[in-house]
Amino acid sequence: MAPLRLVSRIQSIVELSLSFHNLVVGANGQRQAMFLENVSGLAERILRNYDLSPVDSALVISSSGCNRVPIEMAEEFQRRKVPVVAVISRRHSEASRSHRADGRKLQDFADIILDTGAPAGDAMVRIPGLETPVAPGSTVGGCLLINSLKAEIAVRLTAAGQPPTVLTASALVGAETATSLFEAAYDEHARRLARLYENLGTPRAAALPASAPRPNVS
């Protein structure tokens, strides 16, 4: 087994302007989100908020791999020497046109590509009398991939003598232990996550080249 680098933090980068469109129309609607996901330069402004280094790695998810923001996110990660794992549907991506002028897609900026297996168009169920299919498969395939990654990471950490803390249901470990695990894990997560911001805007961060490693907290 290859040497294992312990994970110091996990940070979800979820921009509300791109994801909070449950109102569908009106303020914070779907039209705005779909427009913003193809605004060039937005990815760089998002990543300006994080003190990244080559000890980090990034997981970028886009079924088509064709929208500008996820593509530029992956491009920015690679520019900072951060390895990129892309989750796409190959068949859907191959049938889709990139919104970038150069035609490049998310997978063109990925070190590893994971395929959800969803078909072109994503939807998987055809109904007699309905012209187009329904029920996207990328969600199911994506969840399967992410949970498989979690299991594999747990296997490797345990084999390395650093078993992860697992938030376990009270039905298995009892209410007191479940609560203790929950509180301890979230406190530790907050402490580790603080390191992701501590050098932003400082002379040290400005002087440190993107390729230079930063201390990692395990």
Question: Residues 88, 73: one domain?
Answer: yes
Question: Residues 152, 123: one domain?
Answer: yes
Whether the CA torsion 59, 62, 64, 65 is positive or negative: it is: negative
Average pLDDT over residues 110-115: 98
Question: Residues 28, 98: one domain?
Answer: yes
Model confidence over 23-53: pLDDT tens digits? 999 999 999 999 999 999 999 999 999 988 8
Average pLDDT over residues 48-76: 94
Question: Residues 138, 191: one domain?
Answer: no
Q: What pLDDT is recorded for position 3? A: 43
Question: Residues 48, 124: one domain?
Answer: yes
Q: What pLDDT is recorded for position 107? A: 98
Question: Residues 171, 102: one domain?
Answer: no
pLDDT exceeds cutoff 60 at 218:
no
pTM: 0.83
Question: Residues 65, 141: one domain?
Answer: yes
pLDDT exceeds cutoff 90 at 98:
yes
- For the chain, what is the domain count? 2
Three-state secondary structure readout of 26-77: CCCCHHHHHHHCCCCCHHHHHHCCCCCCCCCCEEEECCCCCCHHHHHHHHHH
Q: What is the CATH number of the domain that holds 157?
A: 3.40.50.10490
Range of the domain at 205: 165-210
